[in-house]
């Protein structure tokens, strides 16, 4: 057998081996690496901004304030009854939202922010009636118009022990091609 034939064969065999090894390695780890959807669904934050403003899913968000309360009162200074167990604290977050061009709006739009702490805990907002600010973006009495900024309040009930850990609110764009989760910090 000639030396060149052997060299050809060796090159062929080694490159085939490398290709197969590469495919095997890729198939093994592809589930765990770089799957944006999986990373998103597991709750990862993709961007961290300060108070904002930041545009997420055609809504501009700005974080105005965050305050802890033990009780909330309505416009007539009467206590708002809400479910908050002993040892929990009410967190009131005020944010400015601006619906931008291109956003689907009929009878308002959906704007939802979740509260997040530095341990990865995420709290969903609690619905509260009677606050002097709207708590959702479809409030007929206090509508927010396109390209105009309105202020909303979001209310969360968290254990008191979590308060020092709170870092901000997260806003999501779960569109399959976008998959953004933006954290606005205090």
Question: Which parts of this chain interact with other proteins (CB under 8 A)?
Answer: 31-32, 38, 41-43, 83, 85-88, 119-124, 157-162
The residue to which tokens 């990865």 are assigned: 120
Question: In degrees rounded to 5, what are phi and psi of residue 73?
Answer: -120, 155
Q: With respect to other proteins, which residue has the nearer C-beta, 116 or 182?
A: 116
DSSP helix, strand, coil percent of the chain (3-state; round to 5): 20, 35, 45
Q: Could you say which DSSP state residue 78 is in?
A: P
Q: Is 85 exposed, middle or buried (0-12, 13-18, 19+ CB in 10 A)?
A: exposed
The CB-of-20 to other proteins minimum distance in angstroms stands at 16
Q: With respect to other proteins, which residue has the nearer C-beta, 39 or 131?
A: 39
Q: With respect to other proteins, which residue has the nearer C-beta, 68 or 100?
A: 68
Q: With respect to other proteins, which residue has the nearer C-beta, 63 or 162?
A: 162
The CB-of-125 to other proteins minimum distance in angstroms stands at 10
Q: Is the bond into 34 cis (omega within 30 degrees of 0)?
A: no
CA distance 82 to 118: 26
The CB-of-86 to other proteins minimum distance in angstroms stands at 7
The CB-of-123 to other proteins minimum distance in angstroms stands at 5
Q: With respect to other proteins, which residue has the nearer C-beta, 41 or 146?
A: 41
User: End-to-end distance of the chain based on CA atoms, in angstroms?
Assistant: 75
The CB-of-40 to other proteins minimum distance in angstroms stands at 11
């Amino acid at each position: 057998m000639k030396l060149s034939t052997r060299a050809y064969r060796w090159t062929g065999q080694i490159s085939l081996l490398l290709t197969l090894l590469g495919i095997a390695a890729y198939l093994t780890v592809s589930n765990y690496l770089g799957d944006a959807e999986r990373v998103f669904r597991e709750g990862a934050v993709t961007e961290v901004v300060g108070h904002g403003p930041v545009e997420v899913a055609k809504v501009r968000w700005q974080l105005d304030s965050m305050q802890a309360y033990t009780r909330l009162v309505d416009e007539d200074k009467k206590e708002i009854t809400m479910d908050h167990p002993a040892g929990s604290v009410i967190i009131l977050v005020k944010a400015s939202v601006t619906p931008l061009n291109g956003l689907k709006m009929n009878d308002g739009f959906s704007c939802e922010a979740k509260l997040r702490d530095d341990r990865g805990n995420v709290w969903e907002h609690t619905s509260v009636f009677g606050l002097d600010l709207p708590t959702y973006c479809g409030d007929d009495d206090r509508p927010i118009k396109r390209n105009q900024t309105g202020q909303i309040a979001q209310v969360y009930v968290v254990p008191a022990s979590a308060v020092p850990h709170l870092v901000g609110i997260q806003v999501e764009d779960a569109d399959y091609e976008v998959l953004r989760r933006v954290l606005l910090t205090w």
